[in-house]
Amino acid sequence: MTVQTSRLFYTQVGNGTKTLLLFHGFGQDHRVFTSLAHALSDRYTCYLFDLYYHGQSIREENEHPLEKTAWKNIVQQFLTENSIESFSVLGYSMGSKFALATLEAFPASTKELFLLAPDGIKTSFWYNLAISPFIFRRLFKSMIAHHDRFLTIGQWLSKTGLVDKRLLRFVEHQMNTTEKRKRVYYGWVVFRKLKFNMKKIAALINQHNISTTVIVGEHDLVIRPESVKKLLKHVAAHKLHVLPTGHNLLANEELLTCLR
């Protein structure tokens, strides 16, 4: 799907009576949902998206942020092209920001919300620091070309106890090539406007009676299980599943049961 100079790729799996939009996490693409979509295909027609800077989706590598209004227009074009009037949304990790943005833009059309290890409910101090002040964004960008700077800062943060060593190893894996570091930078900076007021999101969920299921990993160091309370404490009715796993919920055999 082409919108101005950008391209948002998606593919369809299944032919169920309900529609499900799936948004993946950082460093992934639509294929991470292939098995799950086939397992759900008796109930849902699934649309698996590649987010910008991932897979086959293309967006200019500049720092112009993706505004919520722009995302609403993109989703509206997708819905119109596919004659979709109502849908469910599922977001994993970073993809939860796009699930929440879609719900916020189309609350009356959203029937179900599935958030897996969701990013976007509670932002970390380091994320806010990296994307907000101009000088810190410049420092963050410099790490794309100079990996040694990232390693030096990361090791210092680990030694001072500000960052868990296991989390640092996870982050280092996500930034061990120039291409990966560019993806982190543009993903963080371009998606920085996808921020949400949890009371407002909860009010939309309650007002439109949107079925809400949140699934987190008990040992997740990236998205702490307790972070979802910022949203769920305001949602009148919801399901919360805590699985005995880390951040990679998609590999857990209990996931499908939680989604049914």
CA distances (Å), origin 254, targets 28, 76, 81, 142, 251:
21, 33, 34, 41, 9
Distances (CA, A) of 179 to 79, 175, 182, 183, 246: 32, 8, 5, 6, 25
pLDDT at 128: 47
pLDDT in tens, 241-253: 999 999 999 989 8
Q: Which CATH superfamily is domain 2-122+195-259 in?
A: Alpha/Beta hydrolase fold, catalytic domain (3.40.50.1820)
pLDDT per residue, tens digit, the chain (260 aa), is 887 778 999 999 999 999 999 999 988 999 999 999 999 999 999 999 999 999 999 988 677 889 999 999 999 999 999 999 999 999 999 999 999 999 999 999 999 999 999 998 976 544 444 445 555 556 566 666 665 655 565 565 556 654 545 544 545 556 667 777 777 777 778 888 899 999 999 999 999 999 999 999 999 988 889 999 999 999 999 999 999 999 999 989 899 999 98
CA dihedral for 128, 93, 196, 190, sign (positive or negative): positive
Please report, for the chain, the start and end positions of each structural domain, with discontinuous segments joined by +: 2-122+195-259, 125-190
Q: What would the pLDDT profile of 101-141 be if each residue is shown by its tens digit?
A: 999 999 999 999 999 999 989 765 444 444 455 555 565 66
Residue showing tokens 């460093």: 27
Identity of the residue numbered 111: K
